[in-house]
Amino acid sequence: MGDFWVFGYGSLIWRPGFAHVETQRARLHGYRRSLCVYSFVHRGTRERPGLVLGLDRGGSCIGLAFRVPGGLRDEVIAYLRERELVTNVYLERMLKIRLDGGGTVDAVAYIVDRQHEQYAGALDAADAAAVVRGAVGQSGNNEDYVLSTLEHLKALGIRDHWLEDVARQVAPL
C-alpha cells in the first residue's frame, strides 16, 4: 500500500508523535481550527473541563501535512486513533487538502462530532479564555496547550486571529 498523508492543525503540528518522511504546509477547505472541544482527559477533567482544538465546519484551516510511508499505515493509524479518539469526540475522515508545494492529496483528519457531549460550539474569545484558564488534565495545563499551539503556528507563519485573542486573555503580556 502506498504512502498516505495526515493533516495536523493543533498539537499534531508541534508533537506529531509518529514517523513521517515529509512535512508540508497545507490548507483544508470547509473546516476551521477552533477551540470547540471540552477536554475531559488531556487538558481538563469532567469536573473542570478545558478546551482543545477541533476542526469545525466552515472556512478553511492552514496546518501541516505529514507524509507517512505506506508500510507504517497500521501502526500510525492505531497511534492516531488511540490519541485522537479517547472519548470519540472526533470523527476520522479522509479529506482533500491542498499542499503548499502544489497539488491536492487525500489526508487523514479528525473533525469534531457536533453531536458529541464535548462539543462546545462557537465560543467567543472571552468565554473560551475563561474555560481555558486554570484547567489541567493528563497532558498538562490548558493555558500551555493554547500558548504552545499559537507559538508553533506563529513560527510557521500561520496567523489565527481568534486564537491569538484567546491567548491574550489567558496570558496577558
* CA gap 171, 164 in Å, rounded: 10
* 173 CB-contact burial (10 Å; exposed 0-12 / middle 13-18 / buried 19+): exposed
* CA gap 82, 70 in Å, rounded: 19
Cell representation of residue 90? 472526533
DSSP code at position 43: S
**pLDDT (0 to 100) of residue 9:** 95
Residue 22 annotated in active site: no
Residue 173 pLDDT class (50, 70, 90 cuts): low
146-171 per-position pLDDT tens digit: 999 999 999 999 999 999 999 999 98
Please, are residues 54 and 37 in contact by the beta-carbon 8 Å criterion?
yes
For domain 4-170, give its CATH number from 3.30.56.10, 3.10.490.10, 3.20.20.140, 3.40.50.300.
Answer: 3.10.490.10
Q: Where are the domains of the chain?
A: 4-170
**Active-site residue (options: 22, 84, 151, 164):** 84
61-116 per-position pLDDT tens digit: 999 999 999 999 999 999 999 999 988 999 999 999 999 988 999 999 999 999 99
